[in-house]
Chains A and B, each alone.
Chain A
Amino acid sequence: MSVNALYDYKFEPRDKVENFHGMQLLYLYWPRHLMYCSPFAFLVQPDMTFGAFIEEVLKPAVEAHPDSARARFLDAQWQLNGEPFTPDPSATLKSSGIDHKSMLTVITPELNGIAGSAS
Chain B
Amino acid sequence: MAVKNKKLNLKDKYQYLTRDMSWEPTYQKKEDIYPDERFEGIKITDWSQWEDPFRLTMDAYWKYQAEKEKKLYAIFDAFAQNNGHQNISDARYVNALKLFLSGVSPLEHAAYQGYAKVGRQFSGAGARVACQMQAIDELRHSQTQQHAMSHYNKHFNGLHDAAHMHDRVWFLSVPKSFFDDARSAGPFEFLTAISFSFEYVLTNLLFVPFMSGAAYNGDMATVTFGFSAQSDEARHMTLGLEVIKFILEQHEDNVPIVQQWIDKWFWRGFRLLSLVGMMMDYMLPNKVMSWAEAWEVYYEQNGGALFKDLERYGIRPPKYQDIANDAKNHVSHQAWATFYQYGHATNFHTWMPEKEELDWLSEKYPDTFDKYYRPRFEHWAKEHAEGRRFYNNTLPQLCQVCQIPTIFTEKDDPSMLSHRQIEHEGERYHFCSDGCCDIFKNEPEKYVQAWLPVHQIYQGNCEGGDVETVVSKYYHINIGEDNFDYVGSPDQKRWLAIKGKSSEEKTESAKQDAA
Do A and B interact? yes
How many residues does chain B have at the interface if contact means C-beta atoms less than 8 Å apart? 58
Nearest to B427 among chain A residues (CB) is A13
Among A20, A37, A42, the residue within 8 A (CB) of B338 is A37
Cβ of B40 under 8 Å from chain A: yes
Contact A34 B428 (CB under 8 A): no
Contact B394 A4 (CB under 8 A): no
Contact B39 A14 (CB under 8 A): no
Question: For B41, B425, B449, which residue has the most chain A Cβ atoms within 10 angstroms?
Answer: B449
Minimum CB–CB distance from B265 to chain A (whole Å) comes to 15
Nearest to B40 among chain A residues (CB) is A4
Task: Using known A-B contacts A4-B186, A27-B397, determine if residue A14 contacts B421 with beta carbons closer than 8 Å.
Answer: no
C-alpha spacing A99/B395, complex, angstroms = 19
Question: For A1, A38, A99, A102, which residue has the most chain B Cβ atoms within 10 angstroms?
Answer: A38
Cβ of B450 under 8 Å from chain A: yes
Among B36, B417, B443, the residue within 8 A (CB) of A2 is B443
Task: Using known A-B contacts A15-B427, A15-B455, A100-B428, determine if residue A37 contacts B416 with beta carbons closer than 8 Å.
Answer: no
Cβ of A64 under 8 Å from chain B: yes
Q: Which residues of B contact A42 (CB under 8 A)?
A: 394
Minimum CB–CB distance from A4 to chain B (whole Å) comes to 6
A interface, over-half SS: loop
Q: CB-CB contacts of B333-347 with A at 8 A, as 1s and 0s?
A: 010011001000000
Q: Which residues of A contact B379 (CB under 8 A)?
A: 35, 66, 114-115, 119
Minimum CB–CB distance from B428 to chain A (whole Å) comes to 4
Minimum CB–CB distance from B387 to chain A (whole Å) comes to 13
Task: Using known A-B contacts A1-B441, A38-B406, A119-B372, determine if residue A64 contacts B394 with beta carbons closer than 8 Å.
Answer: no
Minimum CB–CB distance from B436 to chain A (whole Å) comes to 13
Minimum CB–CB distance from B453 to chain A (whole Å) comes to 10
Interface residues of A in 65-119 (CB under 8 A from B): 66, 81-82, 99-103, 114-119
Cβ of B194 under 8 Å from chain A: no
Contact A40 B397 (CB under 8 A): yes
Interface residues of B in 21-49 (CB under 8 A from A): 35-36, 39-41
Cβ of B472 under 8 Å from chain A: no
Contact B397 A39 (CB under 8 A): yes
Contact A20 B458 (CB under 8 A): yes
Cβ of B451 under 8 Å from chain A: yes
Cβ of B301 under 8 Å from chain A: no
Q: Which residues of B contact A38 (CB under 8 A)?
A: 338, 396-398, 405-407, 417
Nearest to A42 among chain B residues (CB) is B394
Q: Which residues of A contact B443 (CB under 8 A)?
A: 1-3
C-alpha spacing A118/B417, complex, angstroms = 11
Q: Which residues of B contact A23 (CB under 8 A)?
A: 458
Cβ of B120 under 8 Å from chain A: no
Among A16, A39, A66, the residue within 8 A (CB) of B417 is A39
Q: Which residues of B contact A4 (CB under 8 A)?
A: 39-41, 186
Interface residues of A in 38-67 (CB under 8 A from B): 38-43, 61, 64, 66
Nearest to A21 among chain B residues (CB) is B460
Pairs A-B, 3 closest by C-beta atoms? A118-B415, A119-B376, A101-B428
Residues of A within 8 A of B (CB): 1-6, 9-16, 19-21, 23, 25, 27, 29, 31-32, 34-43, 61, 64, 66, 81-82, 99-103, 114-119
Residues of B within 8 A of A (CB): 35-36, 39-41, 186, 334, 337-338, 341, 371-376, 379, 383, 388, 390, 392-398, 405-407, 409, 414-417, 419, 421, 425, 427-430, 441-446, 448-452, 454-455, 458-460
Could you give 21 example pairs across A and B, Cβ below 8 Å?
Answer: A2-B443, A3-B443, A6-B36, A12-B448, A19-B459, A25-B455, A29-B417, A34-B376, A35-B376, A37-B341, A37-B396, A38-B397, A38-B417, A40-B396, A41-B396, A64-B383, A114-B375, A114-B379, A117-B374, A119-B373, A119-B376
